[in-house]
Amino acid sequence: MIDVRAGVDATDRELVALLARRFGYMRAAARIKPDRGAVRDELRKAAVVAAVRSEAERLGAPAEAIAVLWDHLVEASIAYEYAEWDRIRP
């Protein structure tokens, strides 16, 4: 069990690093988008979640659970991008 927990902890650190990189792209998007209304894009959100679900299925991972996680991740990303948009355009 010690090895399993160490693997989980290492994977969590990798995931946090990847999420930090993803949120960096959200900061970049906030700088690029010309108006605040462009931050939320429901078609893009649906495409991202569908792509992740498909990749999870391909890998034999729990696709529904991962799709739910990604829906929350995308919503958090949108909220972060709004905050960044507002921060750089007071």
Q: Which token pair is 86?
A: 């507002």
Rounded CA-CA distance 19/76 in Å is 11
The domain total for the chain is 1
* pTM, 2 dp: 0.92
Tokens encoding 12: 């969590």
Q: How does pLDDT run across 31-56, given as a tens digit for each residue?
A: 999 999 999 999 999 999 999 999 99
Is pLDDT of 90 > 80?
no
pLDDT recorded at residue 55: 98
Tell me the average pLDDT of the chain: 97
Q: Which sign, positive or negative, has the C-alpha torsion 18, 24, 28, 31?
A: positive
25 pLDDT exceeds 90?
yes
CATH number at 22 reads 1.20.59.10
In the chain the first and final C-alpha atoms are separated, in Å, by 51
What domain range is 75 assigned to?
Answer: 2-88
Q: By 3-state DSSP, what share of the chain in percent is helix, strand and coil, each rounded to 5?
A: 85, 0, 15
Instruction: Give yes or no for residue 60 having a pLDDT over 80.
Output: yes
